[in-house]
Structure 1
Amino acid sequence: MDRNLDVRPEKNNPFAILGVLVLVLGVVGVVALTGRALTPVRGIAQPAPDALARAASPEPPRPAEPTDSAEPEATGGLLGEGVVLAGVACELPGLGGSDEQLTAFYSAALTCLDTAWEPVLTSTGATFAEAGIEIASDAASSCGEVPGADEATAFYCGADSVIHMPKARIMDYLGLYEPAHLGVLAHEYGHHVQQLSGTLMSAGLRSGLSGPGSELDLEITRRIELQANCLAGLFLAAASGRGDISEDEARAAVADFANSIDSDTHGTLANQIRWAEIGFEGNGTAACDTWTVPAADVA
């Protein structure tokens, strides 16, 4: 079957990759596009009870350690040495513009993502659960109000493990260019992996303690987002040249991370590309350790 590999729309919003939103059970970082200016927007999505208790506590954290580092307390073994994704053959229908065709493509891609990531997560002690998919622009989210098209192209809600790929904005920004759809979906699924491994909760608590919009808060957000780029690259490498994802398509999906701009929440364009490539060329999840690298590597 011919894949849609050369029909990316000329009209492209720079947030096709950048404008993703992670809604987790803690403080949420949103990037909004106002004209050509980047505006950080803050929101709160249904925190877990213990997170609320910690955030509301009048007692400051004991030593400064929990607040002067961007490294989360635990990653559930996700980044351990020798943790690798086995090759996976994705069976994908053709990408089309109808609701049925788009849902069928995403559902098949999610099945492949599940197949790739479930053994990895269970081997590290995490409990695996599938991610859901929603393409409706007005769909309810357990994480609160759904952001507008000017705020996010796609987003993941950790409260119900649903990836939102609102059809109208997705088609406007990506058209039927299949590699871009795969890249965005793999990035969002990277947040699902972070959620299941405990990375998002740990990082969210640390981010909340640092204060919305603080330098540490923004750095933590960049480490989350750049790691999701890397995890997407890992999956694309595992699927490359197998099933319905050719090596050319996998490389095109990685290359599409260049369709972005510098951001204080997602990192410089150079780093966004670099971390996707690190994942694609990496030998395992340890390559995606954005938490112990120098701040310059996640700027």
Structure 2
Amino acid sequence: MDRADDPFRANRPEEPVVAEVPPSSWRPEQPPDPWQGAILPPPPPRHPAPQPPPRNSPAAILGTLVIVLGLVLVVALAGRTPDPVEGTAVAMPGLSEKLAAEPSEDQGPQPVRQLGTNPLLDDGVVLPAVTCELPRIGRSTEQLLAFYQAGMRCLDEAWEPVLREVNEPFFEAGLEVTADAATRCGDAPPEAEATAYYCPLDEIIYMPENRLLDTVGVDRASHLAVLAHEYGHHVQSLSGIMYAVADVSFAMPEGSPEELEMSRRVELQANCFAGLFIAAASGRGSVTGSLSEAAMADFRNTIGGETHGSVENQVAWAWAGFEGEGTAACNTWTADAEEVR
């Protein structure tokens, strides 16, 4: 999600505020898309007999698909407003073969390649209330790691039972805070373009400490929101929504209105998933009411764009999750076009 100065930051309590993680799309022969999220549909992750990603081309190494979502780049700002960047989707070599592979019956829960009808979005599927114990955040690597690890334990606690309930796979995402760490989706994007990102090919959320400290300092709410948004893309990968995105967008021309709308629906859903989690944790443990309010207010720290949607819609979908009664509130796939512009 695009970041902008927060007009309300001066009036916020000293409790840190969340920055958001916008995915950005990487293409084999053009620069990464910083502000707009990119999502590479993940290979069947850590459940039995995963299909290895194709390795016969640089494009394939970046991930089998780059749609304004896959390598999820998030840019958080601190006193600066980057220009929005447009992103598009590209089907990589080997994608159709990899996604066409049918899992055997004894493999256990499998991703469901559906969008609006994905079981994860059924009525009555609700995140449990969770109590997060988050340590104080600081500028040292150890303090940042401790904060992120605690946050991810809490995110796991909220999302695992939901995915189990709908018989979809669950596994923990990895975490990396090293500056400019390379990923199976490719090299880290330039620092000026992204502060955090998620690569579904290695199932790791990248939170480069130098970038985050430069952009949001030690604002707990911002760090938590970035993490929650990126984890939302992990959930999309686990559930099979990303497989369905690949199926639908495979034949779409690059940069077409249809492809851009697909990107917005993915990104806005990640906002909504983040809102669901913040609500599930709000008022318990370390996530006080004021911290959750600050995290939600931070969703307005963004720039509207063709791949992420208008600022109003980005905020609206985050609140749809926070105020919704379950995951059905995050069904961006059945929403009217105006709601995902």
Query: Whole-Å Cα distance in 2 between the matches of residues 244 and 296 of structure 1?
Result: 37
Q: Partner of 1:263: helix, strand, or coil?
A: coil
Q: How does 1:1-299 map to 2 (within 5 A)?
A: 6=14, 17-18=21-22, 19=35, 21-25=37-41, 26-29=65-68, 36-41=82-87, 49-50=95-96, 73=115, 76-299=118-341
Q: In the aligned structure 2, how far is the partner of 1:112 from the partner of 1:149?
A: 28
Q: 1:132 to 1:53 in 2, by over 3 A?
A: closer
The alignment-based identity, stated in percent, is 46
1:180-217 deviations in Å (ceiling 9; x for gaps):
11111101000011000000121133223212211111
CA pair 129-20 structure 1, distance change in 2 beyond 3 A: farther
Q: 3-state DSSP class of the match of 1:213?
A: coil
User: Aligned partner of 1:27: which letter?
Assistant: V
CA contact (8 A) 1:27 1:205 kept: no
Does the CA contact (< 8 Å) of 1:83 and 1:120 recur in 2?
yes
- The alpha-carbon distance between structure 1 residues 48 and 90, as it changes in their structure 2 partners (threshold 3 A), is farther
**TM-score of the superposition, structure 2-length normalised?**
0.74
Q: Which runs of 5+ in 2 are unaligned?
A: 1-11, 23-34, 42-64, 76-80, 101-112
User: 1-side partners of 2:74 and 2:140: how far apart?
Assistant: 27
Q: CA RMSD in A?
A: 2.8
Residue 250 (structure 1) shift: 0.8
SS at match of 1:156: strand
Query: 2:301 is aligned with what amino acid?
Result: N
2:261 and 2:87 map into 1 onto residues whose CA distance is 15
Greater share of residues in strand: 1
| 8 Å CA contact retained: 2:275, 2:322 | yes
On the 8 A contact 2:36/2:68 being kept in 1, the answer is no
1:75 and 1:198 map into 2 onto residues whose CA distance is 11
Q: Gaps (5+ residues) in structure 1?
A: 10-14, 55-70
How many corresponding residue pairs? 275
How far has the Cα of 1:52 moved from its partner? 6.6
Flag the 1:200–1:5 CA change in 2: closer, same or farther, 3 A.
farther
Normalised to the residue count of structure 1, the TM-score between the two structures is: 0.83
